[in-house]
Structure 1
């Protein structure tokens, strides 16, 4: 009987940690998305580049949404960008919650996020494969996703550490 209670308490503790990490991850992902967006806005002002409509194309392909005009396309792109970035914060916070933090957590997170972009978006036919990109475009994309991963990682690690939920390594 005691063993069953102990197992139930441990399971509840793990579930509580997971639920907490999900919330922390959403916040961390939003922080990372904000940092990436600011960097992109600065770059767009410096180069006169227009914002990407790839998030809209992905939303159209996956969810069947159709914008009635360019303003709606921009709104849908922005929403997709925020939701996608916030949701990717969840696995990073889960890593931090269970001891994969710091540089190793951030590097793993970067690989997952950027690797997904490089495989999923070309598979959806909303973006060219990276093998067809110019070197400058690759370096910019790596930079923006690095800004995202580092910012998200710092936020996730801090949120987990400040809450006192991180296990001692």
Structure 2
């Protein structure tokens, strides 16, 4: 086996495990009470990442494999979401699944970027309680002012001359 492919594969598995561990720590009181567990976790997200990596690897010879893999995953998620009893749930886990597949694909072309993005995704997913606490404490005017400041930094500042 080629060392580069092996290293890319390790990155893809690592990203899937990282995101899967974070997602598997989410469990609700109702799931504990009902003794049911419908969450996607370590194995599922590792498989999503491996599917993405294998699709990217096959796309070297068959270019349509990667887009078809992402479309198939999206279709699977849509079907599962529509069959769910509780449609008021968020779709963070579903978006994370598609992101994990995409990160697995990215491992084939730029594994370092995939690793960094995997850490960013995991950090965002695990920061839910912190961000909700911060947003609950902020007043509407503070949020609006923060958005205006970000618009200045991200849109106007790059357009300014460099002097």
TM-score range, shorter chain: 0.3 to 0.5
TM-score (norm 1): 0.39
Normalising by structure 2, what TM-score?
0.40
